[in-house]
Amino acid sequence: MKEVVRHRSDLSDLHVFYAVAVCGGLNAAARSLRVDPSTVSRALDQLEARLNTRLVRRTAQGVVLTKAGEMALARVRTIESQIAELEREVLDSEATSPVGAVTLSCSDGVGAYLLTPALTQLLRENPKLDLRLDCGLWPNNPVEADAEISLVFNAEPAPGYISKPVAYFHYGLFGTRSYFELYGKPESVEEALRHPFLHHTAQTLTSNMTRKVPAFQDLARRRIETNSSAAVVEGVLAGIGIAGMPTVLASIYPELVMIGDAVEPVEMSLVYHRDIERIPRIKVVLKWLEAVFDQKTKPWYRREFVSPSEFGPFIGGQASNLPLGAGKVTERVSAQTQVPKRRIAASGV
């Protein structure tokens, strides 16, 4: 029994040392731990006495870690992290519903158009669950924690990680029905070159384009160039021009019309470390993601290509979410001489 108590005391002293190292001083650590500075000083002295070495040098400005202190801090960080994970696992296992936050990383298009609209049911069924959605648009301002689950295109295998393909994205050239009624629908990829193109800098469809136009993206007039999938989608819906987009968007916006054939599919995988898959809050999000990309009920995610014209029976009467001004227009004009007055008149404003 005495041995157990001694180890508990050791762990407490390590926690105090961690607070001192992170806060940069004894007084700051005492405020963080909500104890007296004398308690912090005594615990630090006890730890240094047991290790028979100095971990910090005390100065007027605070503390400075010794070489031994830096080594100890690296170890203690690992211990603190493991304790925090243990507490989360125990809390999750004892809770009637999953508790805590799950950090999920994905592209901004997947996050905005495919995941966020499907979050309502997940969060209603799990009121103690929070989701941190990291779409990677602001590297200097990430979400609070590293991603526990990632949706990755063309994922590479990594030791200790599970990589499970969940969806295949078929890309094609798209414009809206109202845009084509106004400017004429191209009957070939060559004709599509005459239309303004919204280019996503992360897309590499050139190698998969038809042989007739192997460098479509290089030849097309990039009326808009952006690194945001959402900007491309909203630009096409607003009638600016055409763009290469995944066919799944036609299940959300029936106003979208595809030109020509789809390119080879891009595989998207669910990636997570095998050590966390049994944690309840992780399990419930993984199960939800598999339902979001269920290929049986959503054929646009299958490896084999299914034309958007065949989506109807699977959408189930889903109301179209059309952009403002996407009304029917019968007059056709040249796509290269877009006239604002006609666009305003077409919107019914």
| Domain CATH number, residue 111 | 3.40.190.10
Mean pLDDT confidence for 116-133: 93
Q: How do 171-176 and 129-134 pair as beta strands? A: unpaired
Give the CATH number of the domain where residue 29 resides.
Answer: 1.10.10.10
Domain presence at residue 303: no
Contacts of 146 (CB under 8 A, 6+ apart): 103
Domain presence at residue 302: no
Domain presence at residue 305: no
What are 79-113's pLDDT values in tens digits? 888 887 776 666 655 455 788 999 999 999 999 99
Closest CA to 282 of 87, 81, 148: 148
Whether residues 66 and 115 share a domain: the answer is no
Phi/psi class of residue 233: alpha, beta or left (left: φ > 0; alpha: ψ in -120 to 50)?
alpha
Whether residues 8 and 126 share a domain: the answer is no
How confident is residue 234, by pLDDT bands cut at 50, 70 and 90? very high
Whether residues 84 and 108 share a domain: the answer is no
How confident is the model at residue 298, as a pLDDT? 95
Whether residues 341 and 207 share a domain: the answer is yes
How confident is the model at residue 80, as a pLDDT? 83
Q: What is the dihedral of CA 227, 322, 250, 195, to 10 degrees?
A: -60
What's the token pair of residue 316?
Answer: 């189930």
> How many residues are given for the chain?
349
Whether residues 23 and 133 share a domain: the answer is no
How confident is the model at residue 35, as a pLDDT? 87
Domain presence at residue 308: no
On the question of pLDDT at 36 being above 70, the answer is yes
How confident is the model at residue 329, as a pLDDT? 35
Domain presence at residue 280: yes
Whether residues 243 and 208 share a domain: the answer is yes
Q: What is the DSSP letter of 213?
A: S
Whether residues 106 and 24 share a domain: the answer is no
Domain presence at residue 156: yes
How confident is residue 324, by pLDDT bands cut at 50, 70 and 90? very low
How far apart CA 79 and CA 77 sit, in angstroms, is: 5
On the question of pLDDT at 336 being above 70, the answer is no
How confident is the model at residue 306, as a pLDDT? 94
Whether residues 153 and 221 share a domain: the answer is no
Domain boundary among 45, 71, 94: 94
Whether residues 159 and 273 share a domain: the answer is yes
Domain presence at residue 9: yes
Domain presence at residue 310: no
Q: How many domains does the chain have?
A: 3
What percent of the chain is modeled with pLDDT above 70?
78
What are 145-186's pLDDT values in tens digits? 688 999 999 988 888 899 999 999 999 899 999 999 999 999
Domain boundary among 94, 110, 133: 94
Identify whether the C-beta of residue 325 lies closer than 8 Å to the C-beta of residue 238: yes
Whether residues 68 and 210 share a domain: the answer is no
What is the model's pTM? Answer: 0.63
Closest CA to 166 of 291, 315, 314, 297: 291
Percent helix, strand and coil across the chain, each to the nearest 5: 45, 20, 35
Q: How do 100-105 and 62-65 pair as beta strands? A: unpaired
Whether residues 280 and 227 share a domain: the answer is no
How confident is the model at residue 92, as a pLDDT? 58
Whether residues 242 and 254 share a domain: the answer is yes
How confident is the model at residue 151, as a pLDDT? 95
DSSP secondary structure letters along 235-303: HHHTTS-BEEEETTHHHH-TTEEEES-----EEEEEEEEGGGTTSHHHHHHHHHHHHHT-TTT-GGGSS
Domain boundary among 31, 65, 94: 94
On the question of pLDDT at 24 being above 50, the answer is yes
Mean pLDDT confidence for 118-134: 93
How confident is the model at residue 101, as a pLDDT? 92
On the question of pLDDT at 202 being above 80, the answer is no
- Residue range of the domain that includes 217: 171-264+319-346
On the question of pLDDT at 32 being above 90, the answer is no
Helices 26-33 and 37-51, axial angle in degrees (round to 10): 110
What are 271-312's pLDDT values in tens digits? 999 889 889 999 999 999 999 999 999 999 999 999 999 998
How confident is residue 343, by pLDDT bands cut at 50, 70 and 90? very low
How far apart CA 239 and CA 224 sit, in angstroms, is: 12
What's the token pair of residue 209?
Answer: 């384009």
